[in-house]
Structure 1
Amino acid sequence: MTFSLDRSIELLERTPNVFKIMLLGLSADWTATNEGGDTWSPYDVLGHLIHGERTDWIPRAEVILAENADKTFTPFDRFAQFEESMGKSLAQLLDEFAAVRSQNLDRLRAFNLTDQDLDKKGVHPALGEVTLSQLLATWVVHDLNHIAQISRVMAYQYKNEVGPWIEYLRILNS
């Protein structure tokens, strides 16, 4: 399957509702627990997604589309959510994510991107040259990655309770 902006937007506009349905109203036992060590809880993932909405996807698309000669992206702080989310409830994060995602999709649509635009390039600080279509495809897969991550983190809460069925539950054996 080749990149499609319309198919990408289909998924990107649904992600906030996926998280809202999945997490709203659950106890902190489900939403604040991680897999141990430096892993992230569902709460942490939401904060990370919000930070990405503000500093990653659309700002980097704007760098690519700008007429400036310097196409280098600002480095992304993958851990900024720990400071930015402090003191906020999960419900606040869910609402905030929905609002910033909606604004970003409006901005994306307003670009009126052409095939030539999707081939334009920027420079990622670690990966080097990337196209706009690669950036946008990564935004989609990033959402799916974090949906899978939250599912896995929540499933791990019952890892020891499923007994012998564990051999059939790939999510617990990854």
Structure 2
Amino acid sequence: MIFELHQAISILERTPGVLKSLLFDVGEEWSTANEGRDSWSPFDVVGHLIHGENTDWLVRTQHILEHGPEIPFEPYDRFAQFENSKGKNFEDLLNEFEMLRAKNIKTLKSLNLTNDDFERKGMHPGLGEVTLSQLLSAWVVHDLGHIAQISRVLAKHYKNEVGPWTQYLTILNFTPKE
């Protein structure tokens, strides 16, 4: 499939609504549950998405447009949400994410990107040269991966309660990497 900005935006615009619909007012037991070890809760994921809105996807898009591959992207702190979200209310995080995403989508649309722009390159500090279309595609897949992750964490609340159906419910049998 060829990258299409309008399709990417369609998914990116929906993510905050999906998360709010799924998670708003679920209570602390659900919002802070995780899969054990170093896995993330829905609270952690939403904090991570907020950090990405502030420092990753759109910032890197603008970086590619301004600097190309000559100046590498700033490294991204995948764990900044643990400090940034301390003491915050989960519903406030959901609202903040929704507001930031709407602002970033508005900015993205205002860039009036062309097919030639999608081939422009940037330099990722760990991956090397990347194109703008790869970055924007990764933004979409990143959202979808975290929606799946949150769904999996929530489903595991009833892992024992489903009894023998566990064998048919593959979402319950996934184990995150260490």
| 2:78 corresponds to | 78
Say what the alpha-carbon RMSD is for the aligned residues: 1.0
Q: Which runs of 5+ in 2 are unaligned?
A: none
Cα gap change, 1:44 to 1:67, in 2 (>3 Å): closer
Tell me how far 1:92 sits from its aligned partner.
0.4
Aligned with 2:71: secondary structure?
Answer: coil
Listed as ranges, the matches of 1:1-174 within 5 Å are 1-67=1-67, 70-174=70-174
TM-score in terms of structure 2 length: 0.95
1:50-86 alpha-carbon deviations (Å, 9 max, x no partner):
0000000011001100056633111000000011111
TM-score in terms of structure 1 length: 0.97
**Counterpart residue identity of residue 66, structure 1:** E
Tell me, yes or no, if the aligned pair for 1:31 and 1:43 is still in contact at 8 Å: yes
Tell me, yes or no, if the aligned pair for 1:71 and 1:123 is still in contact at 8 Å: yes
Q: Distance in 2 between matches of 1:71 and 1:57?
A: 16
Tell me, yes or no, if the aligned pair for 1:71 and 1:121 is still in contact at 8 Å: no
Tell me how far 1:29 sits from its aligned partner.
1.1
Which moves more between the two structures, 69-78 or 110-119?
69-78
Aligned with 1:129: secondary structure?
Answer: strand
Q: Which runs of 5+ in 1 are unaligned?
A: none
Cα gap change, 1:69 to 1:168, in 2 (>3 Å): closer
Which runs of at least 4 in structure 1 moved beyond 3 Å after TM superposition?
none
**Counterpart residue identity of residue 159, structure 1:** K
